[in-house]
Amino acid sequence: GAVVSQHPSRVICKSGTSVKIECRSLDFQATTMFWYRQFPKQSLMLMATSNEGSKATYEQGVEKDKFLINHASLTLSTLTVTSAHPEDSSFYICSAKPSERVYEQYFGPGTRLTVT
């Protein structure tokens, strides 16, 4: 149980284009999902907290207009990187908190974004 999927696992896009990453909780409902960014050999950096049916809460320094988050259902959250630039290249990971749990988070497998 507690499986989270992400799609795509890898994506290469040209500078200036937009990329959408999907995060799905496969066997549980998740009122809250989180989006993280991870640089090589570093820890996870929280970008935003996504709550179903409401606007996402972004961490300080994260551009909300560049990283659009939508959490339209209890099993799906999407992250769209708009007007991507090479510096947006990174490993993006989502996590989901089961609605009935207070603390536990389960992570997806991650998406490797490369902007050329």
For position 109 contacting another protein by CB under 8 A, the verdict is yes
For position 103 contacting another protein by CB under 8 A, the verdict is yes
For position 8 contacting another protein by CB under 8 A, the verdict is no
For position 89 contacting another protein by CB under 8 A, the verdict is no
Q: What is the 3-state secondary structure (H, E, C) of 8-57?
A: CCEEEECCCCCEEEEEEECCCCEEEEEEEEECCCCCEEEEEEEECCCCCE
Q: Rounded to whole angstroms, how far apart are CA atoms 17 and 11?
A: 12
Least Å distance, CB 51 to another protein, is: 10
The 11-40 contact track toward another protein, x by CB under 8 A, reads -----------------------x------
